Structure 1
């Protein structure tokens, strides 16, 4: 690349607000790094090149440093945080790992639309993700997005509308029956209103109610509404383990996680939608060997013309609700089942047998926050250790945890795509060209944290690059340009003239993730400056908790 000084048409030196000088630019395209200066005017990148003649109100010396686009978390639940006027201090963990944009509304669970039918459910279920129940002061998605803008978010937010939230607004969360014609028409109206309000697509959460009750025709309809708007269809699929309660098929003949991928591929194909498979994980060590088959299915679908890709986080555990392990037929009356010794006995036998088949057990679940006063002292403990400390049988302990938390105990499930000793599956997924990087994390002020909240992007850029799984430029592409392309935000995720001035300055020699499962609340090293819409939010290591530099990105 030939870099020349930049001047105006009249030959005068350009002027800018901020100039980054002497850095190695990794522009988000996946192409090789190059030496250049970057000029920012307002919220846009003004110029790239030899900008020695450009006058700047402020200059940041980036010699020996790397300049990248701001990182995009393609699968986040931070929309539930950003609506809180006091969120700015809490999301420091996101900013310090280089994030400038989060994609919310994932797993079928968006804060809107809201109706009398799902208002109580949204308030209660929000306790899973944030510290205090969210009390919606909005009904429509347009009203929610306006409310986030009024708060002044620390980061940019792009929002998906959740299939689960739409369905619950019409029929409630726990009704297993398919929607009738009129109900489906109401769902279509709500979904299209949200897409017209600026949502970047539709998400599904098929591992949770009500998504777990959805059948092909319903999913294909939602996919078609996303496609009609030219927007993305994303899915937390129905099963991520070799055997599950979601399907009746013999898993020795048809592994259930592969059935789940086939189901959503078929729905996207029928609806003509672009598909993003959310957090492609493999739960339990007997599921890990299906990794290659799962990726092959996705590659085959892509070869046949379906625009499909996936995302993943670089950790062998992920956060979810404690109730996720139970079969769908129990969910409408789960509390009664868990409180009944007669019904618990066959459930215990079924659970132990199923867990044995997939190579997983309750003892592999770590409590993040019990969300129940009698159990909060067990935060951070694995369920087996907590049950022993409580003097209880492990299944009895877990049942009480679910019931007393109203299904909102936050947990980390381990043995996701690997372990400390065997990370072949997770490395295969994260390094694949179709994979973008996500956190899928719950960040709260209380309880034990998920290390993904603190170290996801630095972990890929340091640990995974150091292992030779991908080049630094490829890793940056996965969390910038590739993510922006998937969600349809062409002015983000790249360093180019006219693009949004979301930028990161980092020191590759010092870059490292420091968060662990034992000590997760630990900031990474090496990320020095993070710029959101032209404004430094992390400035030479100093976080500006009062900055409200983000905005809602409407598509």
Structure 2
């Protein structure tokens, strides 16, 4: 018997094909039929006239690794139509953990009042399943996490034995469900990794049928060199490669994405299996600690804070800062747990009010907060965002943690992308500005990402596929979150269905919890 029928809507199947008027019948968590005036057989019927029905959005670049242990609804992601978050990005994952990786994760979990119950990747996946999230979750293994487990935060190449142990731990984690490897080459200890090391690790990813995703080594003055390194890793390892949140940061680098995309397209024509993703904003978000040179981070967070107390270290940093030309007035504090009043103010402003130099103010802020100060950095070009979005091989990712407008995840003024990414693409860039068509926007959020992850029966609205679906109003859908007021849900997302259950109904979170941890092998990946 059919469980639910979506009646009278316009279906965009996610392949890029034109929309068509059709009903969608759901039975046993899957799509049973798509067609005109489907039999209802006593099923519940939702009238979705004037609405568009699409596959659930897949956030290929999420940082919601621990969010489900705080808010099982993963609320900001759910409200923008996301039915799968891909975690473990930018070199950091919640598993596997031992040694320094264990200590650093426990430090982060303590801030969220979460008690860790896992060490291995398989144990983490099981913990996510026990949390019963509203949407699905999968995860990479972080390259920095691997390094921390085996090498701590040493700023050097691994020995042959250490590399072998990292390869073994990566292989074991992928056997337990990890979808591949993700590096964060601006974030120590991943930043200490070498090209040779990454290529060797990616051989494991290739053999296991996974994906290598990289926050590349530089997104500003050395963007092209960093893209070339990413492509070289793909060439040497023959692994599939994803270039994370492609952009050019810093005004003097605007326009470089034309050269970087040309490099990628040439590599694609030569047989390198590479794609990219992006978020639809001109500001990035990261930690204030990224403004501190890599050498200061050696040994981990505690060592970094210890060094920052040394005036000689600060003077050395200051000398390097002159070369990079840091624009402190473009760096806005998003979260600092001891100083909520800082949120929304830029570093230059805060330093001036305190009668301090911006670098000294930043060092003191990092020491006081044990390295955990989040920032929003206004540094990109709108023209670049549009140029990258128009590329057929670029999909959409939020680069954010799922937040909520209440509870521990409501703290500070985080980047609005955690609430607005997918509706912003649909409303602003597809409907209002015609940068891409609505059908192509949906493709970039669904089948393109599903294909990249080699997901089985997800990302396309067709008979037999999992009933992970979004119903939205194409005339109204839009982000409402801003940098000043980020904890605002979008408008126009009416219903979100996960495995046939209404996780979001009429714009309201329900208690339906059908999300689970998707694992390499049973659910996705493979040759």
TM-score (norm 1): 0.89
Whole-Å separation in 2 of the counterparts to 1:233 and 1:52: 42
Could you tell me which residue of structure 2 aligns to residue 28 of structure 1? 14
Could you tell me which residue of structure 1 aligns to residue 361 of structure 2? 397
1:45 aligns with 2:28: no
Using the TM superposition, give the Cα deviation of residue 126 of structure 1 relative to its aligned residue in structure 2, in angstroms: 5.1
Could you tell me which residue of structure 1 aligns to residue 54 of structure 2? 68
Q: Does the C-alpha gap of structure 1 residues 294 and 134 become closer, same or farther in structure 2, counting only changes over 3 Å?
A: farther
1:531 aligns with 2:501: no
Using the TM superposition, give the Cα deviation of residue 335 of structure 1 relative to its aligned residue in structure 2, in angstroms: 3.0
Matches within 5 A, 1:276-295: 276-295=242-261
Tell me which of 104, 110, 126 is aligned to 1:146: 126
Could you tell me which residue of structure 2 aligns to residue 80 of structure 1? 66
Contact 1:123/1:133, CA 8 A, preserved across alignment: no
Contact 2:293/2:317, CA 8 A, preserved across alignment: no
Tell me which of 390, 404, 409 is aligned to 1:431: 390
Q: Does the C-alpha gap of structure 1 residues 531 and 338 become closer, same or farther in structure 2, counting only changes over 3 Å?
A: same
Using the TM superposition, give the Cα deviation of residue 97 of structure 1 relative to its aligned residue in structure 2, in angstroms: 0.8
Contact 1:124/1:133, CA 8 A, preserved across alignment: no
Contact 1:19/1:39, CA 8 A, preserved across alignment: yes
Matches within 5 A, 1:117-136: 117-125=100-108, 131-132=111-112, 134-136=114-116
Tell me which of 276, 280, 286 is aligned to 1:320: 286
Could you tell me which residue of structure 2 aligns to residue 164 of structure 1? 144
1:257 aligns with 2:193: no
Could you tell me which residue of structure 2 aligns to residue 484 of structure 1? 450
Could you tell me which residue of structure 2 aligns to residue 101 of structure 1? 84
Contact 1:352/1:361, CA 8 A, preserved across alignment: no
CA RMSD of aligned residues (A): 1.5
Could you tell me which residue of structure 2 aligns to residue 386 of structure 1? 350
CA displacement, residues 386-416 of structure 1 (integer Å, 9 cap, x when unaligned): 222333222211111122222211111111x
Tell me which of 448, 454, 457 is aligned to 2:419: 454
Contact 2:14/2:443, CA 8 A, preserved across alignment: yes
Tell me which of 189, 192, 195 is aligned to 1:213: 192
SS of residue paired to 2:2? strand
1:273 aligns with 2:232: no
SS of residue paired to 1:289? coil
CA displacement, residues 428-480 of structure 1 (integer Å, 9 cap, x when unaligned): 11221111101111332211121001110010001001211100000000000
Using the TM superposition, give the Cα deviation of residue 337 of structure 1 relative to its aligned residue in structure 2, in angstroms: 4.2
Q: Does the C-alpha gap of structure 1 residues 51 and 199 become closer, same or farther in structure 2, counting only changes over 3 Å?
A: farther
CA displacement, residues 206-253 of structure 1 (integer Å, 9 cap, x when unaligned): 1111110111211001111100011111111111111xxxxxxxxxxx
Whole-Å separation in 2 of the counterparts to 1:75 and 1:483: 10
Using the TM superposition, give the Cα deviation of residue 125 of structure 1 relative to its aligned residue in structure 2, in angstroms: 4.5
CA displacement, residues 313-335 of structure 1 (integer Å, 9 cap, x when unaligned): 00111221111122222322533
Could you tell me which residue of structure 1 aligns to residue 93 of structure 2? 110
Could you tell me which residue of structure 2 aligns to residue 520 of structure 1? 486
Q: Which 5+ residue runs of structure 1 have no aligned equivalent?
A: 1-14, 243-255
Whole-Å separation in 2 of the counterparts to 1:134 and 1:433: 40
Could you tell me which residue of structure 1 aligns to residue 157 of structure 2? 178
Contact 1:94/1:453, CA 8 A, preserved across alignment: yes
Contact 1:19/1:56, CA 8 A, preserved across alignment: no
Contact 2:109/2:115, CA 8 A, preserved across alignment: no
Using the TM superposition, give the Cα deviation of residue 167 of structure 1 relative to its aligned residue in structure 2, in angstroms: 1.4
Contact 1:161/1:194, CA 8 A, preserved across alignment: yes
Could you tell me which residue of structure 2 aligns to residue 229 of structure 1? 208
SS of residue paired to 1:399? helix
Name which of structure 1's ranges 231-240 and 390-399 shifts more when overlaid on structure 2: 390-399
Name which of structure 1's ranges 399-408 and 104-113 shifts more when overlaid on structure 2: 399-408
Whole-Å separation in 1 of the counterparts to 2:489 and 2:496: 14
Whole-Å separation in 1 of the counterparts to 2:370 and 2:172: 31
Using the TM superposition, give the Cα deviation of residue 292 of structure 1 relative to its aligned residue in structure 2, in angstroms: 0.5
CA displacement, residues 129-154 of structure 1 (integer Å, 9 cap, x when unaligned): xx526543211101110111011112
Using the TM superposition, give the Cα deviation of residue 56 of structure 1 relative to its aligned residue in structure 2, in angstroms: 4.1
CA displacement, residues 75-120 of structure 1 (integer Å, 9 cap, x when unaligned): 00112212x1x4135x222111111110011111111111134211
SS of residue paired to 2:485? coil
Tell me which of 422, 441, 450 is aligned to 1:475: 441
Could you tell me which residue of structure 1 aligns to residue 174 of structure 2? 195
Whole-Å separation in 1 of the counterparts to 2:104 and 2:89: 17
Whole-Å separation in 2 of the counterparts to 1:224 and 1:363: 42
1:410 aligns with 2:374: yes
Contact 2:147/2:189, CA 8 A, preserved across alignment: yes
Using the TM superposition, give the Cα deviation of residue 336 of structure 1 relative to its aligned residue in structure 2, in angstroms: 4.3
Q: Does the C-alpha gap of structure 1 residues 294 and 388 become closer, same or farther in structure 2, counting only changes over 3 Å?
A: same
Whole-Å separation in 2 of the counterparts to 1:504 and 1:446: 28
Contact 1:75/1:278, CA 8 A, preserved across alignment: yes
Whole-Å separation in 1 of the counterparts to 2:485 and 2:29: 36
SS of residue paired to 1:223? helix
Whole-Å separation in 1 of the counterparts to 2:25 and 2:93: 37
Contact 2:183/2:213, CA 8 A, preserved across alignment: yes
Q: Which 5+ residue runs of structure 2 have no aligned equivalent?
A: 404-408, 521-527
